[in-house]
Amino acid sequence: MNANETLRGNNWWQKVLYFYVDGFKSMTVGRTLWAIIILKIIIFFLIVKLAFFPDFLNSVAGNDEEKADYVRHEMGVDRK
């Protein structure tokens, strides 16, 4: 951008937004690389969530009250 050109937008946030929007629009190889990066991140977090954070409470209890009782019991705060 030369010194005579001005950024689009009225305020600072719009200028920053349009700076990135215009930059991504003019990408060729970079757009493909960003798509691959985003796809890998989505796949990674899906695998991590499924592998390391299973829905354990659904296997232990059926409804919300039973789940709450189970958590209270495990924390040692049983209702009297």
Task: Please give the average pLDDT of every successive group of 10 residues along the chain, which has 80 residues.
Answer: 62 88 85 91 89 82 88 81
Does 4 fall in a domain? Answer: no
Two structure tokens written together for 8: 């689009």
- Residue count (the chain): 80
What does the angle CA 58 – CA 60 – CA 61 come to, to the nearest 5 degrees?
70
Does 61 fall in a domain? Answer: yes
Cα(32)–Cα(39) distance, integer angstroms: 11
Cα(57)–Cα(60) distance, integer angstroms: 5
Q: What is the pLDDT of residue 55?
A: 79
Does 46 fall in a domain? Answer: yes
Two structure tokens written together for 68: 């709450």
Statement: the pTM of the whole predicted model exceeds 0.85 = no
Instruction: List the domain range (segments joined by +) for residue 70.
Output: 12-75
Two structure tokens written together for 29: 């190889």
Does 6 fall in a domain? Answer: no
